[in-house]
Amino acid sequence: MGIRERLSGNEAIAIAMKQINPDVVAAFPITPSTEIPQYFSTFVSNGTVDTEFVAVESEHSAMTACIGAQAAGARAMTATSANGLSLMWEMIYIASSLRLPIVMSLVNRAVSGPLNIHNDHSDAMGVRDAGWIMLFSENNQEAYDNMVMAHRIAEHKDVQLPIMICQDGFITSHSIENIELIEDDKVKAFVGTYKPEHYLLNKKEPMAVGPLDLQAFLFEHKYQQAEAMKNAKKVIADVSADFEKMTGRKYSFFEEYKMEDAEHVIVCMNSTAGTAKYTVDKLRSEGVKAGLLKVRMFRPFPAEEIAKALSKENIKSIAVLDKADSLNAAGGALFEDITSAMYVNKKSVPVVNYIYGIGGRDTTSENIETVFADLQKINKEDKVENPYRYLGLRKE
């Protein structure tokens, strides 16, 4: 029986970290993730955990400290947002290339400039190819649950990659929702003890970490990372199945909402899925066969599975919503992945992209309704005049 609580997304993440009781947490405050290390530091100070909390002078140093701790054989965690993640950029790549299963909470926020502290996904999209597993969270419950699963996924012998758990800044990080926590002893048993095979403090196996890696070996090492990311798909599925047995809460690579007979489908990530579900329900009551596919696992990207889900005979048009603009004149990152998946798997359905919510711009159910109206028009006219669009952009 779970523990009923009312918590913000940041509080939920901090409590998951408390239950995990990592060896090291290194962090530097940045809005809107600041509350996570702030809450966790109180657990350290009152003795609830025996974690070594490292208050560093920058986010670059936070990730550096996590890398050092994890390489030494410790379980390390951190949290950041936006410009903080940007300052970590060099170390983000180093963490994944060293195959260190660090766990990070990424509270999504717009990356400067100009300066903006509100939510979009430009920070996550900036490191989408850095070799980190990336799970997105619609609400506080999902953020908490993803965090509880994170170490089991990252530390698996066939994976050994860092993982970031994403949630929308302020929208979920600071909003209080009903949530069901898992009992401490169950979390501890589920996560297990970290037992690295190779680590710096093992005096029986002297080793170097991060040596020069030139033409003779770098290519093969990058291939090994790619293979580990492929392996992560099965591990994520297995861990999610074990989590469902423990809690009754089911998580897949993506969620299909009213997709059984849907003709017009929106694809999105994180909290926007909640607004989209409300809109789908409203349109269903009006006779529109609307549906939603919410992506949870963004890295590794479930290309084959998504292509299959989006190519059902009843689906006539698809809109992919990106909360970050790739500024490439060819659509957002999620749109590119979706269309690539469809093409490679020989699936053909009209697809259009919408850039939305930049810098925290509100995205209402009315906005989502206009997308579904556009999808119906695309189906009726049997053509896509402009696949690259903006949602909620002022025209004046």
CATH assignment of the domain containing 184: 3.40.50.970
Q: Is the pLDDT of residue 58 over 90?
A: yes
Q: Are residues 127 and 221 in the same domain?
A: yes
What are 239-249's pLDDT values in tens digits?
Answer: 999 999 999 99
Q: Are residues 326 and 220 in the same domain?
A: no
Which residue matches tokens 């589920």? 190
Q: Using 50, 70 and 90 to split pLDDT, how confident is the model at 27?
A: very high
Query: What is the pLDDT, as a whole number, of residue 329?
Result: 96
273 alpha-carbon distance from chain centroid: 14
Q: Using 50, 70 and 90 to split pLDDT, how confident is the model at 25?
A: very high
Q: Give percent of the chain above pLDDT 70.
A: 99
Q: Is the pLDDT of residue 362 over 70?
A: yes
User: Does residue 262 belong to any structural domain of this protein?
Assistant: yes
User: Does residue 135 belong to any structural domain of this protein?
Assistant: yes
> With 0-12 CB in 10 A as exposed, 13-18 as middle and 19+ as buried, what is 301?
buried
Q: Are residues 221 and 263 in the same domain?
A: no
Of 218, 247, 276, which residue constitutes the final position of a domain? 247
- Mean pLDDT for the chain? 97
Q: Are residues 112 and 204 in the same domain?
A: yes
Domain hosting residue 287, numbered range? 254-391
How far apart are alpha carbons 338 and 210 in whole angstroms?
35
CB 151 within 8 Å of CB 75: yes
Of 247, 272, 305, which residue constitutes the final position of a domain? 247
Q: Are residues 211 and 259 in the same domain?
A: no
Query: What is the pLDDT, as a whole number, of residue 395?
Result: 83
pTM metric for this prediction: 0.98
How far apart are alpha carbons 161 and 373 in whole angstroms?
42
Q: Provide the CATH number for the domain around residue 313.
A: 3.40.50.920
Task: Please give the average per-residue pLDDT across 224-236, as a whole number.
Answer: 98
How far apart are alpha carbons 8 and 141 in whole angstroms?
10
Of 216, 247, 278, which residue constitutes the final position of a domain? 247
Q: Is the pLDDT of residue 231 over 90?
A: yes
CB 310 within 8 Å of CB 349: yes
Q: Are residues 200 and 293 in the same domain?
A: no
Task: Please give the average per-residue pLDDT across 177-204, as a whole number.
Answer: 97
How far apart are alpha carbons 241 and 216 in whole angstroms?
40
Q: Are residues 238 and 259 in the same domain?
A: no
Q: Is the pLDDT of residue 372 over 70?
A: yes
Q: Are residues 196 and 264 in the same domain?
A: no
| DSSP state, residue 158 | T
Q: Is the pLDDT of residue 1 over 80?
A: no
> With 0-12 CB in 10 A as exposed, 13-18 as middle and 19+ as buried, what is 163?
buried
Q: Are residues 202 and 111 in the same domain?
A: yes
Q: Are residues 200 and 284 in the same domain?
A: no
User: Does residue 396 belong to any structural domain of this protein?
Assistant: no
Q: Is the pLDDT of residue 396 over 80?
A: no
Please report the DSSP string for 241-290 in residue order.
HHHHHHHS----SEEEES-SS-SEEEEEETTHHHHHHHHHHHHHHTT--E
User: Does residue 192 belong to any structural domain of this protein?
Assistant: yes
User: Does residue 243 belong to any structural domain of this protein?
Assistant: yes
Q: Using 50, 70 and 90 to split pLDDT, how confident is the model at 200?
A: very high
Q: How many domains does the chain have?
A: 2
What are 139-179's pLDDT values in tens digits?
Answer: 999 999 999 999 999 999 999 999 999 999 999 999 999 99
How far apart are alpha carbons 105 and 255 in whole angstroms?
21
Q: Are residues 9 and 87 in the same domain?
A: yes
